[in-house]
Amino acid sequence: MEYTGTQLREFGCEQSLLSRPDGSAIFIQGDTSVLAGVYGPAEIKVSREIHNKATLEVILRPKVGLPAVQEKNQEQLIRETCESVILGSLHPRTSISIVLQIISDAGSLLSCCLNASCMGMMDAGLPMQSLFCGITCALDCDGHITLDPSSKLQKVSIHLIKAIK
């Protein structure tokens, strides 16, 4: 079947792959894959605790090298999304950590990270008010929206948006 840009690449998920985290999941979409490990709720240093809810930390590790500005921005988006659904008030003064390891990136990485995070939190049994999922869309030069774009198409779309501004 030929990819037309109006459908998603084949995706899949497997939970409980890792033994040390409280929850884990790998999310694969096309040739993009992310492994998530979820730890907590656990004790936290007094200086970092929040008295009425759990503290959430997200760490995004690139395939190679150290995290750059892009990874830090993605960490913040993932953390804000997860914070909006976790019932952190049930575990005040504790820490929840989500560690995401990029295994391969062929496009739609942020949505793959979000989906791996949600599945990992489910596997850890964290109380959540709802589930969430991510999907990436790109705008091409002709103004058409493409679902689940490749890395190459995403880069073209970003340059197009910068040119419009």
Q: pTM value?
A: 0.87
**Residue 49 pLDDT > 70, yes or no?**
yes
pLDDT digits over 66-109, tens only? 888 989 999 999 999 999 999 999 999 999 999 999 999 998 99
Q: How far apart are the first and last CA of the chain?
A: 36
Is the domain spanning 11-134 CATH 3.10.20.30? The answer is no
> Mean pLDDT over residues 18-37, rounded?
96
Highest mean pLDDT among 2-6, 9-13, 89-93, 112-116: 112-116
**Residue 23 pLDDT > 90, yes or no?**
yes
Q: At what angle do helices 109-124 and 69-85 cross, to 10 degrees?
A: 40
Task: Tell me the C-alpha distance between 140 and 161, whole Å.
Answer: 9
| HSE, side-chain direction, 13 A CA sphere, residue 64 | 0
